[in-house]
Amino acid sequence: MTSSALNNKYDSVEFPFCDEVTKYEKLTKIGQGTFGEVFKARHKRNRRVVALKKVLMENEKEGFPITALREIKILQLLRHENVVHLIEICRTKAYNRFKGSIFLVFEFCEHDLAGLLSNANVKFSLGEIKEVVKQLLNGLYYIHSNKILHRDMKAANILITKEGKLKLADFGLARAFSHAKPSQPNRYTNRVVTLWYRPPELLLGERNYGPPIDMWGAGCIMAEMWTRSPIMQGNTEQHQLTLISHLCGSISPEIWSGVDKLEFFSKLELPKGHKRKVKERLKAYVKDQIALDLIDKLLWLDPSNRINSDDALNHDFFWLDPLPCSLQKMLSLHTQSMFEFLAPPRRRIQQQAQHSAVPPRRSANLPQSHDQTFDRVF
Ligand code: ADP
Ligand code: MG
């Protein structure tokens, strides 16, 4: 090994033992973003249909990208029915750290929740909504128990198979967390989670965050099951905090102890005198009182009092009639996977990407009928 190679901290990342990607035949491109392309593909011998996510190497001077490495390490650790399964890693023939590509091979899921919600023909019954939210919380319970934060919750990163099994996907921003000791607080980057699903603690500059950040995202997604559009579509961090204050009430140390210690508390303008109106404003969409109660607990401003996945799964919402029920029949009415259409990227993805904490990441090819502007919810 040369000395320059020794100096490169990612040098040990080579993939000599993985198979060549040519064992799969590419069928269609299903996603394209700054962080990589996603293809539907089929194993040439056993005919298994998979999703191939190409690791983009173009802007990498340092060798294999650390974000992809993190995603692989995390996915290899996780094994759960509500987390997308990483089958293997493949490479192009002449892969080394300077040329060739690496592909993450996933089980294929026919739908993503963003696509289903933007298709007006797809109608969820209350039991089916309960099933979606239950599986989402099950996935979060599992990853949080394994000390992993997803950090990029949004409907586009929630996949659903044609059998109605929900899978958390896109662990590109995920990371392991530890419970901070008061003497050494964690200092994670604060630039995570798409703006519209970003919780108030991140917007206010908290760096010692934890599982509640994903629970906020789950609350936004749960409400979106009824509103069919993201509930708070801010254009800037300031705007997002304003929308949050209008819905969840003014942010102050009285309702959130210690919030005044956060970096941006005094730097940003926080609307004063607003009452909490989560239930009141969502009830036009969400007719079920118990559902409103759970959304209210997920969209709790103070992260230390926000409901966790365990308590959320024990909420009456999942245990009173109608009970969660299989999605399979409803999805069979929509046999055409969204990926079988070829259309320009949806506006929503572009909008969302624009305001994302990270560069635009994807624009799946989706049916023309999905190519719509987002309705404002409030
Ligand atoms: P990105 O970092 O580009 O957002 P994702 O992992 O979210 O990467 O993949 C981009 C898109 O590709 C997803 O939103 C989804 O539409 C599609 N996709 C990803 N994984 C799968 C899969 N296993 N099955 C089907 N589609 C997938
Ligand atoms: Mg994604």
Cα 165 to Cα 22, 263, 302, 335, 365: the distances in Å are: 29, 40, 32, 15, 22
Model pTM above 0.85: yes
Instruction: Please tell me the distance from the alpha carbon of residue 234 to that of residue 230, in angstroms, as a whole number.
Output: 10
What is the CA(254)–ligand 2 centre distance, in A? 36
Residue 346 has pLDDT above 90, yes or no: no
Q: Which atom of ligand 1 is nearest to the CA of 112?
A: 16
Other beta carbons within 10 angstroms of residue 313's beta carbon come to 17
Instruction: Please tell me the distance from the alpha carbon of residue 57 to that of residue 83, in angstroms, as a whole number.
Output: 25
Instruction: Give the residue-averaged pLDDT of 131-159.
Output: 97
Name the region of 35 (left: φ>0; alpha: ψ -120 to 50; beta: rest).
Answer: alpha
What is the percent of the chain where pLDDT is above 90?
68
pLDDT band at 191 (very low <50, low <70, confident <90, very high): low
Instruction: Please tell me the distance from the alpha carbon of residue 118 to that of residue 261, in angstroms, as a whole number.
Output: 39
Cα 38 to Cα 18, 173, 265, 290, 347: the distances in Å are: 19, 17, 39, 38, 19
Both tokens assigned to 372: 């719509």
pLDDT band at 13 (very low <50, low <70, confident <90, very high): low
Percent of the chain as helix, strand, coil, to the nearest 5: 35, 15, 50
DSSP-based three-state secondary structure for 39: strand
Residue 363 has pLDDT above 70, yes or no: no
Does domain 16-107 fall into CATH 3.30.200.20?
yes
Delimit the CATH 1.10.510.10 region(s) of the chain: 114-377
Just list the catalytic residues. Answer: 152
**Closest ligand relative to 33 C-alpha:** 1
Residue 101 has pLDDT above 60, yes or no: yes
What is the CA(205)–ligand 2 centre distance, in A? 23
Delimit the CATH 3.30.200.20 region(s) of the chain: 16-107
Q: Which of 172-181, 271-280, 310-319 has the lowest mean pLDDT?
A: 172-181
Both tokens assigned to 57: 């190497």
Q: Which atom of ligand 1 is nearest to the CA of 31?
A: 12
The residues facing 176 across adjacent strands are 148
Residue 105 has pLDDT above 80, yes or no: yes
Name the CATH topology of 114-377.
Transferase(Phosphotransferase); domain 1 (1.10.510)
